[in-house]
Amino acid sequence: MPAQHPTVDGLEPAWQQALADLRASIARQPAALVAYSGGVDSALVAAIAAEQLGAQALAITGVSPALAPHLREEAQLQAQWMGIEHREIATSELNDPAYSSNPADRCYACKRELHTLLAEMRDAAAAAGFEAAVVLDGVNHDDLGDHRPGIRAAQERGVISPLAELGISKAGVRAISRALGFPWWDKPAQPCLASRFPYGEVISAERLQRVARAEAWLRQRGFAELRVRSQGEAARIELPPDQLPALLDTQLRPALVTAFLELGFTAVSLDLEGLVSGKLNRALPQP
């Protein structure tokens, strides 16, 4: 029987109820596989699954060149902190032209690959006599109004999105995570590296790794929230507007240009608008 939990100090009543509902929703499941990226949303679902289901909860991270190495490490450390069993599975979405050609619904092919593998894991466990597990993901209520083709792939596989079903927004996820003491409650959104390429521009493992190395170079110099957009062979850097002057420092700028050229980029630019989540989707037809 899942433990009863008191109200959480500092959490407004609406989110208190949302947390209670989330706990009750997950506690009703006999076992759960959590599609876990290490982001704040899936981390909350994984943490509550571990709390309510104990050893019957398992966090699964899909690993491919599109996952930045530092995010893979963070996912591992967070799972240890939560006390949930964590496994990684290799995904092969780059072998699918529906992904590597980078169409507007690229994320559908990615999530189809991940959830096919998760369904196979679930079915194999059931055949071996283990509890019949459901697959949970971290889609939140705000995601339903965004361009998220991957949601359709998850729905086709019967994945449950408890945050979205309970109306828990990104702000709610952060508020609940903060109240529960999760150190990563304010972790910036960090979509996969494939999001750095304009739709229609072919994605390869080599190009993904080049972007990962470029972003790592900046991160090592104190820039925590950033994107390095790859446009052809050129790099375009996005940072929060208040950090733009730091990148133009007379000592840092020459070293940055040299480092990026050595990675194989032919030109480096700074986006004066700054970091805007979802900027890639401006190229899509507007409804």
Domain boundary pick from 145, 162, 179: 179
What percent of the chain has a predicted confidence (pLDDT) above 90? 76
Report residue 281's pLDDT band, with 50, 70 and 90 as the boundaries.
confident
> pLDDT value at position 3?
46
CATH number at residue 242: 3.30.70
Is the per-residue pLDDT at 7 higher than 80? no
Confidence class of residue 5 from pLDDT cuts 50, 70 and 90? Answer: low
CATH classification of the domain holding 56: 3.40.50.620
Per-residue model confidence as pLDDT tens digits over 141-185? 998 877 788 889 999 999 999 999 999 999 999 999 999 999 999
Residue 140 covered by a domain: yes
Specify whether 171 is located in the same domain as 33. Answer: yes
Do 138 and 274 have their domain in common?
Answer: no
- Predicted local confidence at residue 81, as pLDDT: 97
Chain segment 88-142, per-residue pLDDT in tens: 999 999 999 999 999 999 999 999 999 999 999 888 877 766 677 899 999 999 9
Report pLDDT for 94. 96
Instruction: Read off the pTM.
Output: 0.92
User: Range of 173's domain?
Assistant: 13-179
Q: Calculate the average pLDDT of the chain.
A: 91
Which residues, in sequence order, are CB contacts of 37 under 8 Å at separation 6+?
Answer: 61, 62, 67, 71, 75, 138
> Is residue 194 situated within a structural domain?
no
